[in-house]
Amino acid sequence: MVKADELVRHFGLAKTTVADIAAALSMSPANIYKSFSSRDAIIEAVAEEGLAELKRTIESAIASSSGALARIDSVALAVFHCHNQYFRHEPQMFQLLFTANAEHWDCVRHFKRFLLRKITETIEAGSRSGEFHISEVGAAARVLIDCLAVVIEPTASPDPDNKLTEKRVHALVNFLGRALSRRD
């Protein structure tokens, strides 16, 4: 799996073949097919590992932040920094995750469920502590995810120059935090 990841990051999604992976591992393509049913399964496993890394980063960001809004901000920044890293320094990986998202791969669906669960848990904790005043936590979490789409899915940005910055991410989260904290 590590070698497939290296090749995808170097050559990209379209140019990485099972033969390349097998050659890099000094084995035959038939041996690769003992572990993976197809090239697409290998590529999806690479994307899944990239998203698993992001999940671990998000978990760490949540654990190191105090307060519900700070946790949401940390989650948004973790995703922002991951996408920014891939976009600027690993365009092949960015393209892989873009394709996985556009084609609704299982790993992307699992990641989005994970993200919704983490945001829901954070809003619930904020409601229990009195930081947020939300009666329908699930609905609020889904709306918050929709509002953070510009961060979660960088290709969804209305800014054609892709000038999303850390400062803008903070401003977006703070705006959403005011909505969550508002008493009707």
- Can you give the residue ranges of every domain in the chain? 50-181
5-54 residue pLDDT tens: 777 777 777 777 778 777 887 888 888 788 888 888 888 888 899 899 99
Residue type, 117: R
- Measured distance CA(139)–CA(89) in Å, rounded: 36
- Measured distance CA(181)–CA(163) in Å, rounded: 28
56, pLDDT greater than 80: yes
pLDDT of residue 131: 94
**H or E element, residue 177:** helix 166-181
Signed CA dihedral, 101, 107, 113, 118: sign only: negative
Residues in the chain: 184
CATH of 50-181, one of 1.10.357.10, 3.30.420.40, 2.60.120.430, 3.40.50.300: 1.10.357.10
71-107 residue pLDDT tens: 999 999 999 999 888 888 888 888 888 888 889 999 9
146-166 residue pLDDT tens: 999 888 886 666 665 657 788
- Measured distance CA(101)–CA(111) in Å, rounded: 10
pTM: 0.85
118, pLDDT greater than 90: yes
In order of 89, 117, 131, 141, 162, the CA distances from 124 in angstroms are: 36, 10, 10, 9, 32
